[in-house]
Amino acid sequence: MQPERGDMEGEPPSMLWGLDPIFSAFARLYIKDILKMNESCQVPGIYFYRSHPISKVDVLGTVVYKREREDFFCYGVDDGTGVINSLCWKDEQWREHGEPVKASKSTVTNTGGFNPAEQLKKLLQAQHNSSHLEIGDVLRVRGPGKTSREQREIRASTYYKVTDPVLAVQIAWMLEVPQLYRKFYDKPFQWSSGMHDLNATSAPVTLLEQACSLLKDFLREKAVERFRPYDLREQLVPLVSSIPSASTSTHQEAVTNQSTSKQLHALFRETLQLLEDEGLVFRKVISQDQVFQVTENDKELHRVTRDIIREDSRREKYAEKGCHVLHILSSVRQSYSQNVSKMAMDVVLRSLECNSEIISTTDSHYTVL
């Protein structure tokens, strides 16, 4: 796959990149996404995953090929989603003096048998062993991404062999990375405020954004499975009460001339619509008695989805790749509710995968463990 250069029109100005905390971190991305990232037009060596500028990555995977040169090792690292070449520089002392001499068992001192020189040699030997890997070893590598000869690679700033006999490290990694995608990487970073005023230290959060954040936190903390609008509307009362008489935004100007009740109703309606658009809530049955299901907490929807994937993955048609997301959505609509949206289905699938109840075999296929 040939890496692509980014489009200047889709990039924020480079002086704004530091506002995104992911820019300064080692991003724990899947290798398939590292290979697909577009390189910045403004600064070579900086890449973009969605709207996030990526300067360095953190990868854990199995060594599937190895090449050794005088100054460095080239390890091919496979995390199950793709393979990337990792350029790992040899320690200066090994290049100059070769492998460390193994500590002698006969060298002891009169101070309780502890020999600092011997212990130092053992420490150096352990350091040497951790930086020399063979095919099949588990490698963790961190460093900036680079494009060399039209191929994406990692120039390691830190790398070491991971001793993981019971797969504890790899399991912990598999559980953590999907959560990072869900909470950070897949959420767009809002650049608009900085673009309008580069001297502004922070951008005001709109009333609608505050309302969405407030309801999301409430639904998560209380583990709400379903609700009626009047059950949650009162949660937004403090926001409506705080609207100043001299409004600074178009949305606020439209509501300040209304009564508090009408303001609250309008804000809640917009907030609820935004939550529906994101797939976080949906209506199982369309009726006058409006009842909304909270997608992440709808245990019955999760059970139905999991059962569909388990049963259909046994069929010859889906045995190799698993079930396509559109097939899963269609089956869920037939057996559970016609009103489940594609976005809601994506939320359910991400949740099931985070809980290790299903796995994704491609970007759009799922099967059971």
DSSP secondary structure of 157-174 = SEEEEE--TTSHHHHHHH
**Which tokens go with 130?**
């951790």
Q: Which residue bears the tokens 């909470």? A: 183
Radius of gyration of the chain, Cα coordinates, nearest whole angstrom: 27
Out of 259-263, 344-348, 355-359, least confident range: 259-263
Q: List the Cα angle 149/155/158 in 5-degree steps.
A: 165
Average pLDDT over residues 195-220: 69
Percent above pLDDT 70 for the chain: 80
pLDDT band at 189, cuts 50/70/90? Answer: confident
Predicted local confidence at residue 260, as pLDDT: 72
Average pLDDT over residues 289-295: 90
Cβ 157 vs Cβ 56: under 8 Å: yes
For the domain made up of 298-368, give the CATH fold.
Arc Repressor Mutant, subunit A (1.10.10)
Predicted local confidence at residue 108, as pLDDT: 45
Distances (CA, A) of 141 to 54, 83, 87, 357: 16, 13, 9, 28
Distance CA 107, CA 118 (A): 7
Predicted local confidence at residue 192, as pLDDT: 56
pLDDT digit string (tens) for 214-257?
Answer: 898 888 888 899 998 888 888 888 777 665 544 444 444 444 44
Predicted local confidence at residue 299, as pLDDT: 93
Average pLDDT over residues 286-300: 90
Domain 205-295 has CATH 3.40.50.150: no
Distance CA 229, CA 292 (A): 8
Strands 151-155 and 83-89: parallel
Cβ 36 vs Cβ 104: under 8 Å: no
Predicted local confidence at residue 98, as pLDDT: 54
Between 277 and 108, name the one with better pLDDT: 277
Predicted local confidence at residue 230, as pLDDT: 84
Predicted local confidence at residue 202, as pLDDT: 42
Distances (CA, A) of 316 to 154, 156, 320, 327: 39, 43, 8, 15
pLDDT digit string (tens) for 45-104?
Answer: 899 998 899 999 999 999 999 998 888 889 999 999 999 999 988 876 555 555 544 444
Q: Which residues of the chain form CATH 1.10.10.980? A: 205-295
Distances (CA, A) of 43 to 12, 19, 273: 12, 16, 39
Predicted local confidence at residue 241, as pLDDT: 67
Between 116 and 347, name the one with better pLDDT: 347
- 8-90+131-162: CATH class: mainly beta
Between 331 and 101, name the one with better pLDDT: 331
Predicted local confidence at residue 243, as pLDDT: 54
Q: Which residues of the chain form CATH 2.40.50.140? A: 8-90+131-162
Cβ 170 vs Cβ 138: under 8 Å: yes
pLDDT digit string (tens) for 144-176?
Answer: 999 888 889 999 988 888 989 999 999 999 999
Predicted local confidence at residue 94, as pLDDT: 52
Q: Which residues of the chain form CATH 1.10.10.10? A: 298-368
Average pLDDT over residues 298-311: 94
Burial zone of 252 (CB within 10 Å; 0-12 exposed, 13-18 middle, 19+ buried): middle
Task: Say whether pLDDT at 34 is over 70.
Answer: yes
